[in-house]
Structure 1
């Protein structure tokens, strides 16, 4: 599948796991000192915030990835994109769930994903508050800590919960109609504030699926790599300019994917 030697992917996987754990533990220290952190609001979105912790952790992750693999590309929520023509491109969210982080909620994580030839191939999602690291990818299996994980075998929305979310202005008009259809079908939902964690929860069978009207790539590339190994389905999220600008997003276990996609309708595939 790849021109790069297999051991290069192995070493990238090992480094991603190491860095995610290291950054998550540093993040936990900063989380406990969050009242002292400088915070800025991005753009016009009241909940779209960045803290000094986000920037510190991304700098830590980026520096070590680029030192080890200088030929690789990089997309980070805080520092932007470079070398997108590289075969291996890292996609990183240093703190996914910043609003939760800053308000003292435990729903945040470090997300490190790797695209190889544009395909989500390695993913690590580290949640230090619950002492969990979701890790794996194509050929590596899918794991939470040392336990293998699989998506739910459910075939009906009654069997569990669906993660949902809307944030950016684009696509929000589809959200309430979708929720109405979900409730009419007897489904129930939650929103925990972290797209990376909700994707990992789908991969591990805790959620039946997860729909976001528009998500950014740094929130989900790691999770998509996990999902590919745990038996889940996803829409073509990276189509068009998905890597840099995001797209509507759906991941789910095979037994409910089509039902949920039908509730969303054509907007799921709209760029």
Structure 2
């Protein structure tokens, strides 16, 4: 392993510890099941006290551990620049978290320039931790993962993320295209976990028309390591603003891409 690769591996191990502690903080602050706890930024777009607390916790820890690294958070924006840059979504799936549901995660990705190189996604309420280091594998709770072997769209399970930034007509058009393939549609409320589900074979594909870097930064190394087909999210503007993503197992990727008119290249 080169010295640079060793530096990434060391950072990933440190990030794993920091994210574990951040997940414990989020669990301690977790609302009880019921009506949403938090403030509504816009339709179905929630912010809780935990989002800010978890992001601040991770930001402080990473600054102490790696003061030379850049840092970008969903809530705080780009706090520091650096060749290596951490990108955090403190609570991905806030609408679920705010209602005491289980499908949410803490997501922390590492970019080397404009290349995702490592990531940690922890879903504390589910007892699951995904890790990946490009060139060194992708894992769920320490065990290697792989994409689904499903080849027929009529046997596929496809998730599509919803956003109030997408016109209803566009969402319905894409969802209709998925169903016309014969695939089973899903929508779970966490982009990071949906992408991780593609990486481990629980889903055959995931689509979101408008999604941000912090939602996908930790998942992109997972997808790369398992050979998933992924649209060029970063090249299409995802480094600096919202963009569209399609990720799928390679057996159905072309059919899904054609059906929903989202190019893979």
TM-score range, shorter chain: over 0.9
Structure 2 residue aligned with 1:176: 172
Post-superposition, which runs of at least 4 consecutive aligned residues in structure 1 deviate over 4 A? 32-35
**Helix, strand or coil at the partner of 1:111:** strand
Structure 2: how far apart are the matches of 1:111 and 1:125? Answer: 5
Gaps spanning 5+ residues in structure 1: where? none
1:215 to 180, 189, 211: 211
Equivalent in the alignment of 1:64: 61
How many residues align structurally?
264
Contact 2:40 2:46 in 1 (8 A): yes
Q: 2:79: which partner in 1?
A: 82
Change in 2 beyond 3 A, CA 1:18/1:172: farther
Question: Separation in 1 of the partners of 2:56 and 2:31?
Answer: 20
5+ residue gaps, structure 2: none
CA 1:173–1:88 in 2, change beyond 3 Å: closer, same or farther?
Answer: farther
Q: Within 1, Cα distance between the matches of 2:90 and 2:145?
A: 24
2:165 alignment partner, SS class: coil
Cα root mean square deviation, aligned: 2.2
Q: 1:145 aligns with which of 122, 136, 141?
A: 141
Q: TM-score of the superposition, structure 2-length normalised?
A: 0.92
Change (3 A) 1:246 1:171: farther
- Structure 1 residues 238 and 138: CA distance shift in structure 2, 3 A: same
Q: Give SS of 2:182's match.
A: coil
Which TM-score applies when normalising by structure 1?
A: 0.90
1:53 and 1:142 map into 2 onto residues whose CA distance is 28
Decide whether aligned partners of structure 1 residues 67 and 57 sit closer, same or farther in structure 2, where only a CA change above 3 A counts. Answer: same
Q: CA deviation at 1:243?
A: 2.1
Secondary structure of 2:132's counterpart equals strand
